[in-house]
């Protein structure tokens, strides 16, 4: 499933990992990644009938991809298959959870720039997955109700995180919040 370096590729992951309302896209680490992520998000939101959330999702996912390109590729030993970045959109009714996986071991630092402040402003909740041998994911929850991710979305993201990061005991960290969902630290 290797592709040209600049061509994004939709990943076909087992339904048991992702669920029916999930789409994933593998991205190369190049300047077209953010634009490809936006096109992918648009198509996914259309399929999920969640286009009303597009402005917030575009803002958050664009920043997460930009941060992954700038910070998430440093310290990675080798490029994961088939590309270093994976964008996933998980939907459940009015809730969306979007995540950008990268191979970097470093955790997001809100104090280093304005990007994560933008993600926080566009999101109902955001955070990251505990890093595994293949990297981590930084996620954003955007909902029509203005709440954080549902327990079933968290469970699906934990499975996806285990699959994409290699972490056998995945956990989510919610930025600036106390844990309220199992599997969240």
pLDDT tens digits, one per residue of 7-47: 345 555 555 555 568 888 988 888 788 899 999 999 999 98
State the burial class of residue 182 (Cβ atoms within 10 Å of its Cβ: 0-12, 13-18, 19+). Answer: exposed
Terminal Cα-to-Cα distance of the chain (whole angstroms)? 34
Q: CB-side exposure of 184: number of CA atoms within 13 Å? A: 24
Nearest C-alpha neighbor of 148 from the set 106, 111, 176, 114: 176
Query: What is the distance between the alpha carbons of residues 20 and 74, in angstroms, rounded to a whole number?
Result: 33
pLDDT tens digits, one per residue of 93-138: 878 999 999 988 888 877 666 788 899 999 999 999 999 888 899 9
pTM over 0.85: no
- Beta strands 95-102 and 85-92 are antiparallel
């Amino acid at each position: 499933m290797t592709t040209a370096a600049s061509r994004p590729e939709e990943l076909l992951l087992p339904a048991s990992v992702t669920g029916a309302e999930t789409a994933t896209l593998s991205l190369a680490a190049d300047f077209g990644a953010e634009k490809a992520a936006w096109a992918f998000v648009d198509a996914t939101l259309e399929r999920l009938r969640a286009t009303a959330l597009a402005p917030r999702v575009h803002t958050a996912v664009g920043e997460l991809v930009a941060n992954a390109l700038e910070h998430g590729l440093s310290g990675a030993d080798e490029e994961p298959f088939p590309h270093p970045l994976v964008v996933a959109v998980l939907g459940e009714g009015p809730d969306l959870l979007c995540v950008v996986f990268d191979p970097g071991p470093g955790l997001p630092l809100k104090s280093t720039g304005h990007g994560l402040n933008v993600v926080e402003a566009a999101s109902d909740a955001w955070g990251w997955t505990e890093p595994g041998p293949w990297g981590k994911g930084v996620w954003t929850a955007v909902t029509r109700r203005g709440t954080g991710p549902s327990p079933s979305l968290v469970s699906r993201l934990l499975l996806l995180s285990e699959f994409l990061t290699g972490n056998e005991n995945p956990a989510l960290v919610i930025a600036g919040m106390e844990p309220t969902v199992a599997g969240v630290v």
